[in-house]
Chains A and B, each alone.
Chain A
């Protein structure tokens, strides 16, 4: 498997485990999280699309380190895993800090 692809899968798994085993904020059971992820990914298409546009790229990729699938626009699909891992870790840490009394079960 290409290295960026492999690291993306690994990153996602580690962040999910961080939440389920360590932080236990219950974020994956909250409607707010999934709605937020949908909104964030929508904006990621715009921002990441701008960063990776092949006719005038800001970030360039070694294609052999990715699956080579660029969608939508010219975004390497691995970027969505990278982004999801990053913002999920951020939000879980944020909930841990700002809702310290929150029990792990019974999220909205």
Chain B
């Protein structure tokens, strides 16, 4: 089935969506940061993929991909792979960070506040509150560990 690889990638995106919209991972909602993180990865690993294809390290079963190819005869699915899987990885990292932050807040008796304000009580990465990329944060925003 020509859509098999595409469906697999779509499933990866769908399965990780609750991390964004229920747990509050805030990855999809930071498109600028996402672009800055994904673009170098797409270029480097896309180049590796092209190398692998042209050196004959791997190839794709024509009946299981869409048949749409980009310059360099890289299948569309491969380019999407280098966007979808990194997004899933970031959702995992932010989801895990969120859970660790909630656990710490719970031990400090501040679970409700941490749920409302991610990072307010104890962010995983040095108490840093998730912000929009490039946003300037005032020292007063840092609440420190409870």
Hey, which bits of chain A sit against chain B, CB under 8 A? Answer: 3-4, 7, 11, 30-33, 35-36, 39-40, 43, 47, 50-51, 56-62, 65-66, 82-83, 85-87, 89-91, 93-95, 97-103, 106-108
Whether a CB of chain A sits under 8 angstroms from the CB of B108 is: no
Docked-complex contact A83 and B85, CB < 8 angstroms: yes
CA distance A91 to B5 in the complex (A): 24
How distant is A80 from chain B, measured CB to nearest CB, in Å? Answer: 13
Counting chain B residues whose Cβ lies within 8 A of the other chain, the interface size class is 35 or more
Docked-complex contact B37 and A97, CB < 8 angstroms: yes
- A59-B60, A95-B125 given; A7·B82 CB < 8 A: no
Whether a CB of chain A sits under 8 angstroms from the CB of B21 is: no
How distant is A54 from chain B, measured CB to nearest CB, in Å? Answer: 11
How distant is A2 from chain B, measured CB to nearest CB, in Å? Answer: 9
Report chain A residues within 8 Å CB of B126.
99, 102-103, 106-108
Interface centre among B5, B37, B55 (most CB of A within 10 A): B37
Docked-complex contact B30 and A98, CB < 8 angstroms: yes
Residue from A4, A32, A58 within 8 A of B125 (CB atoms) = A32
CA distance A31 to B123 in the complex (A): 12
Q: Which secondary structure dominates chain A's binding surface?
A: helix
Hey, which bits of chain B sit against chain A, CB under 8 A? Answer: 4-5, 8, 12, 30, 33-34, 36-38, 40-41, 44-45, 48, 51-52, 55-61, 64-65, 82, 85-86, 88-90, 92-93, 96-97, 100, 124-126, 128, 130-131, 133-134, 137
CA distance A108 to B100 in the complex (A): 10
Report chain B residues within 8 Å CB of A50.
8
CA distance A108 to B51 in the complex (A): 38
CA distance A80 to B127 in the complex (A): 31
Report chain B residues within 8 Å CB of A102.
125-126, 128
Report chain A residues within 8 Å CB of B37.
90, 93-94, 97
Report chain B residues within 8 Å CB of A103.
126
Report chain B residues within 8 Å CB of A99.
125-126, 128
Report chain A residues within 8 Å CB of B52.
4, 7
Report chain A residues within 8 Å CB of B131.
98
The 19 listed contacts between A and B (C-beta, < 8 Å) are A4-B52, A30-B124, A35-B96, A36-B93, A57-B61, A57-B64, A58-B5, A59-B60, A60-B59, A62-B56, A66-B57, A86-B89, A90-B38, A90-B90, A91-B89, A91-B90, A93-B41, A98-B130, A98-B133
